[in-house]
Amino acid sequence: MKKITIAIDGFSSTGKSTLAKQLAKQLGYVYVDTGAMYRAVTLYAMQNGFVSENHLDKENLVVDLPKVQLQFQFNPDLGFAEMYLNGNNVEAEIRTLDVSRLVSKVAEISEVRAKLVEQQQQMGKNKAIVMDGRDIGTVVFPDAELKIFMTASPETRAQRRYDELLEKGQAVSFADVLQNVKERDYIDTHRDDSPLVQAEDAVVVDNSSMSREEQFEVVLNIVKEKLV
C-alpha cells in the first residue's frame, strides 16, 4: 500500500498526540511527538540553569546544543516511543507544568528549531510517519500528503490538561492550567520563527464537542481517501 506522511498541527492540548498515536497504530506507521523534543531541550535548559521564569540564557544554551542528544525509544508495554535525553528516560519529567511554563521560550530560539527540524526530517525521510507539532505541515514537511490542523476552545483544552495532570498526581489549579494554555497559544502564534499557522492545504478538525472515537473516525476516513 502507498506510504504517506501525515502532519498534525494545532494548539496545545487539542489531543493531537492521542489522534496521532491512534492513526500510527492503525496504519502501522511511526509516530513522532515533536512537542516532546522541545520539552526535552527545555528540561536540559532548566537542569543547566539556562532558563527559569524570568531568565533565558540563550547564548549558552545554543553553545551547549551539540551536547543535547535526543532519542525516541519504543516502549512495547505502552505502545509508543518514550523520550530520552542524553540516555535518560525523561518522559515523566517533560510533562510537568514547570516544563510547560518554560517550553515556549525555548521553542522560540531559531537554533533550537533548526536542530530539531533537521532530526524530524531525517526521521520522516521514508514516509509512513505521523508527526505532530506546530510547524509540521508548514516547515518540517510542507509536501506532506495529509495535513490536519486541530483546534478546540481554550477552556476545553485546559480541562483536558487539568484532568491529565490530576490523574498523574500533580497538584495544580484549573486557573493556572488555563492561563498556561492561553499564554502558550499567544507565544506559539506570535513568535518570529515558524509561528503556529494553519497550512493552506490543511484539513481543520475542531474537536470541542467530539469524542476521541468520533474524531478518529472522521480523520481515518480522510486518511483512507489519501491512500487510494
Q: What residue ranges bind ligand DC (CB under 6 A)?
A: 12, 34-35, 38-39, 103-104, 107, 133-135, 184, 188
Q: What are phi and psi of 106, to 5 degrees?
A: -70, -35
Cβ of residue 191: shortest distance to ligand DC, in angstroms?
8
Cβ of residue 101: shortest distance to ligand DC, in angstroms?
10
Distance, CA of 66 to CA of 61 (rounded, Å): 10
Cβ of residue 195: shortest distance to ligand DC, in angstroms?
9
Of the pair 25, 190, the CB lying nearest ligand DC is at 190
Of the pair 104, 156, the CB lying nearest ligand DC is at 104
Distance, CA of 133 to CA of 206 (rounded, Å): 16
Cβ of residue 139: shortest distance to ligand DC, in angstroms?
8
Of the pair 16, 27, the CB lying nearest ligand DC is at 16
CA angle 137, 148, 40 (to 5 degrees): 60
Of the pair 117, 219, the CB lying nearest ligand DC is at 117
- What's the half-sphere exposure (Cβ side, CA atoms, 13 Å) at 151? 12
Distance, CA of 142 to CA of 37 (rounded, Å): 20
